[in-house]
Amino acid sequence: MTSDPSSVAAAPTSENSKQVVVAAPRGYCAGVDRAVITVEKALDAYGPPVYVRKQIVHNKHVVENLAARGAIFVEELSEVPEGETVVFSAHGVSPAVRHEATDRQLKTIDATCPLVTKVHHEAKRFARDDLEILLIGHAGHEEVEGTAGEAPDNITLVQSPDEVAAVEVKDPSKVAWLSQTTLSVDETMATVNALREKFPQLMDPPSDDICYATQNRQSAVKQIAAHSDLVIVVGSANSSNSVRLVEVALDAGAKASYRVDNASEIDEAWLDGADRIGITSGASVPDDLVQGVLEFLYERGYPMATEETLTEENLVFALPPELRKDIRKSAIND
Ligand code: 10D
Ligand code: SF4
């Protein structure tokens, strides 16, 4: 076999009615790419250890690899020794966390995805305009904690359409909605529609909060799901956008769909009667894990995969300016 089973387009033959279709776009988005490179470059520039508050992205392989290179992942800033360098994860932090870092004299590098930061700005602006904000998202998710922390007195969390009936606001003429960036587009629209029915003057965010990468991965998996007996989504259990891809695949007609961290988690029983298999991966997933799944299937008699591309993605974010400055400085001193 070739080293890249997705690279050769092989139509199913009469002897082999099986097929494997890989969705594109899948895998790393611009915000994840930037965040992972940020930790790698910080390790190069400052030397280990570099502390990272929370998982830099929600993928256990990424975290294990960076930890092996000297990154130390902590849950809270109190675990970071004073004066050390700490990277804020791609999911963002609340102002309270930034203040704590200043109080503890930590050097900070902010790997928050610019598209998450955009939602923080929207929250601050709506709060300045004295609006009540209904934040659609999942309790306990780091992104939601960060965004809600921008305007805690103005924000109420709404987790699903089912929660709308119980939502109370002080003034229905002064209410707006925002969302987490990695939700199901369809479910979020259902929540917004229910909110608007209840609060007809509900204001929209100035632009989509669910980011381009989340939207593209969901649209791409929808394209292949209806023709799939099985859709395998590669991604970690705590990755919101990865978990959403399983739900979207099932809603779009896949007969079955499962999430795995890597090929070793595939249950061979899932392959019984599964002639047409679709594959995708979340925004925090390195593509070698997808290649591992394709190899696993190839070894079990499936043909090489064809790729179904919905759209091309070209977005690239610059590294955090504080890191770029230090990289420039260390280049001058070398
Ligand atoms: O859980 P999640 O989908 O928000 O995060 P993950 O790290 O898997 O993917 C990247 C998304 C980010 C950083 C939220 F914007
Ligand atoms: Fe940024 Fe979207 Fe990627 Fe999250 S999923 S890191 S918001 S590009």
Q: Which residues line ligand 1 (CB under 6 A)?
A: 31-32, 57-58, 90-91, 113, 116, 143, 181-182, 239-242, 282-284
For 247-274, the DSSP string reads: HHHHHTT-S-EEEESSGGG--GGGGTT-
Catalytic residue among 122, 143, 145, 150: 143
d(CA 302, CA 277): 9
Q: Is the pLDDT of residue 257 over 60?
A: yes
The pLDDT of residue 329: 85
Quick one: which atom of ligand 1 is closest to the CA of 211?
15
Average pLDDT over the chain, rounded to an integer = 95
Reported confidence tier of residue 333, pLDDT bands at 50, 70, 90: confident
The pLDDT of residue 1: 33
Q: Report the Cα 4 to chain-centroid distance in Å.
A: 25
d(CA 214, CA 328): 33
The pLDDT of residue 182: 98
Question: Which tokens hold the place of 24?
Answer: 């594109």
Q: Is the pLDDT of residue 11 over 50?
A: no
d(CA 121, CA 102): 21
Quick one: which atom of ligand 1 is closest to the CA of 35?
13
Q: Is the pLDDT of residue 13 over 90?
A: no
For 48-117, the DSSP string reads: S-EEEES-SSS-HHHHHHHHHTTEEEESSGGGSPTT-EEEEPTT---HHHHHHHHHTT-EEEE---HHHH
Rounded mean pLDDT, 242-248? 98
Residue with tokens 């294990």: 64
Reported confidence tier of residue 276, pLDDT bands at 50, 70, 90: very high
pLDDT tens column, 122-167: 999 999 999 999 999 999 999 999 999 999 999 999 999 999 999 9
